[in-house]
Amino acid sequence: MVDPLKNGRTPEAQAVRLERVLVVAGELASAGGYEAVHMREVAKLAEISLSTLYRYYPSKDYLIKDVVRDELVRLRSDIISRFPTQRSPHERAANVLVRAFRGVRRDGERGFAHAAMSVDRMPLSLDAPYTRHLGIDLMDIMKLAAWGEEHRISKTQYQALDMLQALWSSNVVAWLDGGLSIADVDDRLRVAARRLIEPVSDSPPILNADKANRPVSS
């Protein structure tokens, strides 16, 4: 008997197939890093045709990018359900960074982190029909933890979060290269959060959050 959620064409069936694809790709990445994720192998293990997989994602880079986004969605949900208990915004932002670093160290291995960092700076295509969670990134989650859902960040707060996100990536890469230990990365993230967030914690909110995306005039 054909399982309608496995082979059907309904939105529910497509969502189930997509979830299988992301799980399989994440497992392959965890086992062997970026190079271990092959579209043909993903299609085989997820039990879908290769052509269907390419309809979802034009390349494995886009696929891995969405796997990382899924990890961020889980992190955001975890932050909401187990909200950081630290008293200051910079400590709560650091908590997010440390938990995100823990999240890419799946099973204590470097594979998933390697895959995630390999596509870290790749722009996310709006043309990919099944790309999800476009608004989720580390900055969004740090803002939530530091100041709350309704807070409208100032330009300086946006810049601080943007710098922290970049520092998080560079520290993960340094750990992958063997230059930093896990404890080193955690310590550096906490120091960076304190130095960047603490001075701007009381910055006045901007009237339009979209203005935070504009570059600073020289």
pLDDT of residue 120: 85
Give 140-151 pLDDT, tens digit per residue: 999 999 999 899
pLDDT of residue 11: 80
The rounded percent of the chain whose pLDDT value lies above 90 is: 72
Q: How far is CA 130 from CA 17, 23, 47, 56, 183, in A?
A: 11, 15, 17, 6, 37
Average pLDDT, integer, range 187-200: 95
Give 105-133 pLDDT, tens digit per residue: 987 789 999 999 999 876 655 454 444 44
Nearest to 19 by CA among 39, 48, 41: 48
Distance, in Å, from the CA atom of 71 to the CA atom of 74, rounded to the nearest integer, reads 5
Q: Write out the H or E segment, with its range, that includes residue 22.
A: helix 11-32
Give 5-50 pLDDT, tens digit per residue: 555 678 888 889 999 999 999 999 999 999 999 999 999 999 999 9
The single-letter code of the amino acid at 197 is I
Residue 24: strand, helix, or coil:
helix
Average pLDDT, integer, range 37-65: 96
Distance, in Å, from the CA atom of 207 to the CA atom of 51, rounded to the nearest integer, reads 46
The rounded percent of the chain whose pLDDT value lies above 70 is: 82
> Higher pLDDT residue, 3 or 186?
186
pLDDT at position 209 over 60: no
* CB-based burial label for 207 (10 Å; 0-12, 13-18, 19+): exposed
Give me the domains of the chain, ranges plus CATH numbers.
65-213 (1.10.357.10)
Q: The whole model's pTM is what?
A: 0.82
Distance of CA 59 to the CA centre of its chain: 18
